[in-house]
Each structure stands twice: as C-alpha cells, then as structure tokens.
Structure 1
Amino acid sequence: MASINTNIAAMTALRSLTSTNDALTRTQDRISTGLRVSTAADNAAYWSIATTMKSDTSALSTVQDALGLGAATIDVAYTALDEAKNLVIKIKDKLVAAAQPGLDREKIQTEITELQSQLKGIADAASLQGQNWLSVDSSAAGYTATKQVVSSIARAAGTISVQTISINTAGMVLYDNSATADGILDSMRDAATGAVDPAGTFNIATLNISALTDSVAHMAILDGYIKGADRAITDLAAGATTLGAAKARIDIQQTFVASLKDALEGGISQLVDADMNEESTRLQALQVKQQLGIQALSIANSSSQSILSLFK
C-alpha cells in the first residue's frame, strides 16, 4: 500500500543508514586511537584487565629506576672498597719494608699517615643520594646494616606486593662512629695476631711505627701490625665479594624486569589494540555501504513523490 503518512521503505533505509554510520564512527575511532577497546563500554572485562596490567607496567618502570639507583649505589661502594683494599695493601707493604733493621721508620710513617688519611677520605666520599655504606654511625636512630633495593612487584589474588633484594653491609663498614661498634679499619686488633679484638692495642686507621726500634719487643709489635693489615685486606676482599654478588643479582633482575614489562605490554596489546589491516578493510566496506544507504534512503523518499502523478 502506498501511503503519504508512513513511508516504510524510508524508515527501513534510515535505520540501516544509522547503523552503518554508527559502525563507521566506531571504526574511525579505532583507526584514530589504534585501540579497539578504549573505554569500559567497548568491552568491560578486557578494559578492566588491561587497566590493571597498565598499572603494573607503570610500576615496573619505577622498579627499573630503583634497580638502577641500587646498582649505582653498589658501584660507588664497591669502587671505594676496592680502592681502600689497594691502599691497605700499600700500608702493608710499608710495614713489611719497615721490618728491615736500620730503616728510618719515621719517614715511612709519614707515608703511612697519608695513606690513612686517604682511606678516611675515600670512605667518607663513598656516598650516593645520602647513602654511605662504608662510613656509618650504627648508633644513629633508624640505622640498619641490611640495605634494601626494590627489585620487582608481585600480584597474587588481586593484591600487589613489593619485592626487594637485601644486602648485608655489616661486613664491609670501614669506619663506624658508634661508641659500641667499629669498622674494618677502626676496629682494635690483637697485638700478636692482628685479629679484631675489643681489648686490642692498635687499629689500621691510627697505627704508628715512628717510635719503633729494632728491639725484639718492637719487632713483635710491627709483626702484629703486618698481620692486622693482612687480615684487614681479607675482610675488605670479603666485603667487595658481597657487593659483587649483589651487583650480579641486580643485573639479572634488571634483565628480568625488562622482559616482564615487555610481556605485559604485549598482553595489553592483544587485549585492546586494534588490527589496523582489519579496520582499514572494514572502513572501506562501511564507506561503500554508507553511500549505498544514502542512495537507498533517497530512492525511498522519492517514492512518495510518485503518488502526485496519480492525480494529474
């Protein structure tokens, strides 16, 4: 039935054209943003998962920064500790040379004193971002010998937690300003064995040979100094080994975090990114469909005009 009140063909054509325009708008949005899920309305489940994964990816970027700072702190401490070891070796060499009868030990002590000053300067300078692991005050409020480096994040049952790498610095402290504790260089040592002993008579930081003579008693003291320097070198090497192991672990963790971040970003892409090949093909198809819809609507609208010919 032909009617001037209701144009069924035009209504159908309009609904089809509206649907095509909506699909075309969505496709254009996907092409312009590169996302097929950009809001929760597009796909609530995928959007929620991707949002959580994006949050974790951002947190992993912060973890990478923390690992870099931790590695730099270790590098500073290791460099200073290694140089301190070399200086103590030089002190030991001077002490061995001083064991030769007839040498001017006062002049040798002048050199040793300079080395001792250099050791203190190195320890005090081994600081990064306010952290110094070699020259400390263990009696200070909040001090702890176990240092923490943020290493990763973990998510379990919807709850996120921060993971850390612990580094025990107690065995690498060179100087400790506490009245109840000492570092490797300012610890009192036994006069006979050179071992750390609170009741000892000397330490590497302040030992002085200028007044020693060639007497048997003084040579025994000098021998204790040599043994003390040798034990200090062993302690310094152990501290450097601890730092080296921690640095190696951080390097491994940095590689893992980078790989984990890449994996998360890949997962996010699978959930929300648009396939540009598919979208470009769909766009062209919809544009053709839109043109056909406009033409169909035009034909449907013009059909009412044909009724006028019946009255001529």
Structure 2
Amino acid sequence: MASINTNVAAMTALRSLTATNSALTQTQERISTGLRVATAADNAAYWSIATTMKSDNSSLSTVQDALGLGAAFVDVAYTALDEAKNIVTKIKDKLVAAAQPGLDRAKIQTEVTELQAQLTGMAGAATLQGQNWLSVDSSAAGYNATKSIVSSISRAGGAISVQTISVNTGSMVLFDANAAASGILDSTRNATTGVVDPAGTFTIAALNISALTDSTADLAILDGYIKGADRAITEMAAGATALGAAKARIEIQTSFVSSLMDAIEGGISQLVDADMNEESTRLQALQVKQQLGIQALSIANGSSQSILRLFQ
C-alpha cells in the first residue's frame, strides 16, 4: 500500500541514521578526549574505580615530595655529623700531640678552642625548615627524638592509611640545651675511660688543656681527654650509620613509589582510556554508514513523489 501519511521506508532509514549519528558522536568524543569512560554515565563502575585510583595517585605524588624533603633532612644531618666527626678527629690529634712532654699546651689549646667553636656553629647550622636534629632542646614542648617521614599510603577496605619511616635521632644529638640531658659533645665524661658519665669532669665541647703540666696526674687527665674524644668519634660514627641506613631506605621507597604510580596509571588507562586504533577504524566505518544512511533516507523520501504521477 502506498500512503502519503506514513512512509515506512523513510521512518526505518531515519531510525538507522539517528543511531549512526549517535554512535558517530560518541566515537568523536572518545577520539577528542582519548577516553572511553569520561563520565559516570559511560560506565559507572569503571568511572568510580578510576576516580579512586586517580585520587590515590595524586596522594602518592605528594608522598614523593615528602620523601624528597625527608631525604633532604637526612642529608643535612649526615653532612654536619660527618664533618663534626672529622673535627673531633682533629681535636683528638691535637690532644695526642699535646701528650708529648715539653710542648706548649696553651698554644695547642688555642687551636682546640677554634675547633670547638666550629663544632658548636656547625651543629647549630644543620637546620632545614626550622628543624635541627643535631642541636636540640629535649625539654621543649612537643620535642620527639623520633622523626617521621611520610613514605607511602595504603588502602584497605576502602579506608586509607599513611605509612612513615621513623628515624631515631637520639643517638646522634651533638648538643642538648636541656639541663637534664646532653648530647655527644656536651655530655660529661669519665676522666679515666672517657665514657659518658653524669659524674664526669669534662666534655668534648669544653675541655681545656692549657693548664696541664707534665705531671703524672695531668698526663692521666690528658689521656682521659683522648679516650673521650675517641669514644665521641665512635658515637658519631654510629649516628652517621643510622642516618645512612635511613637515607638508603628513603631512596628505595622513592623508587618503589615511582613504580607504584606508573602501575596505577597503567591500571587507570586500562579502565578508561580509548583504543585509538579501534576508534579510528570505527570512525571511518560510521562515516561511510552515515553517508549511506543519508542516501537511503533520500531515496525513501523520494518514493513519495512518485505517487503524484498517479494523478497526472
């Protein structure tokens, strides 16, 4: 039946062309954005998962910054501690030289005093972002010898938690302003063994040999000073070792976080990114289909014109 009210062929061609245009629009959006899941409407589950992963990846970027800052803190403390160890070694050398009878110990003390001042200044200058791990005041409010460096984040059961690397600076403190505590260089030491002793008679930062003579008692005191300097060097070496271990762990964690970010980025890509090879092939096919649809609709609409010939 030929009807001018209802053109079934044209309606069918129009539905097909509309579907083609819709698919073509979707493909063009994927090509322009590079995403096959750009909004929750495209795929709610994938979009939700990818959004959470993107948020975690952003947090890991902040973790990288925190690790970099933590490494800087460790570097500053290690550099100062290592140089302080070298200076105490020089003080020890001066003390050993002073053990030679007949030397002018007052002149040697002049050099020692300069080295002691250098130790104080160096420890005070080992500051970054207002933090100093070597010259402290353990009586200050909020002081904690254990320093925490943000190292990673983890998600379990939907809840996120922050992991940290802890560095115990108690063993590397050189000076402590707290009257009830002390650091390596301002601790009182035993006059005989050089070990830290609350009842000791000297500190590395303030020992003075200018008044010592060649008497047996004074030489015994000098020997205690030498032993004290040697023990201080050992204590600082232990602190530097702890810092070195912390630095190595930070470097490993930095590498891990970088790899983890790459892995998460790859996971996000698998969920939401468009396959450009596939989309380009689909685009060409849809463009051809669109042209054919337009032609089919034109033919279907033209068929109604043939009815006019029946009335000629």
With the shorter chain as reference, the TM-score category is: over 0.9
Residue 112 of structure 1 corresponds to 112
1:155 is paired with a residue whose SS is strand
Q: Deviations over 1:128-161 (max 9, x none)?
A: 1111100000000000000000000011111110
User: How far, CA to CA, are the matches of 1:127 and 1:298 in structure 2?
Assistant: 80
2:108 is paired with a residue whose SS is helix
User: How far, CA to CA, are the matches of 1:296 and 1:136 in structure 2?
Assistant: 86
Residue 171 of structure 2 corresponds to 171
Residue 250 of structure 1 corresponds to 250
% same residue: 83
AA partner of residue 242 (structure 1) = A
Query: Could you tell me the TM-score, scaled by structure 2's length?
Result: 0.99
Alignment of 1:145-294 (within 5 A): 145-294=145-294
Residue 63 of structure 1 corresponds to 63
Residue 37 of structure 1 corresponds to 37
- Cα offset, 1:221, TM superposition: 0.8
- Cα offset, 1:183, TM superposition: 0.4
The CA RMSD measured in Å over matched residues stands at 0.6
Q: Deviations over 1:261-298 (max 9, x none)?
A: 11000000111110000000000000000000111111
2:138 is paired with a residue whose SS is coil
AA partner of residue 287 (structure 2) = Q
Listed as ranges, the gaps of 5+ residues in structure 2 are none
Q: How many residues align?
A: 312
Residue 7 of structure 1 corresponds to 7
User: How far, CA to CA, are the matches of 1:174 and 1:133 in structure 2?
Assistant: 9
Moved segments of 4+, more than 6 Å: none
2:171 is paired with a residue whose SS is helix
2:65 is paired with a residue whose SS is helix
Residue 139 of structure 1 corresponds to 139
- Cα offset, 1:178, TM superposition: 0.6
1:296 is paired with a residue whose SS is helix
Q: Does 1:303 align with 2:303?
A: yes
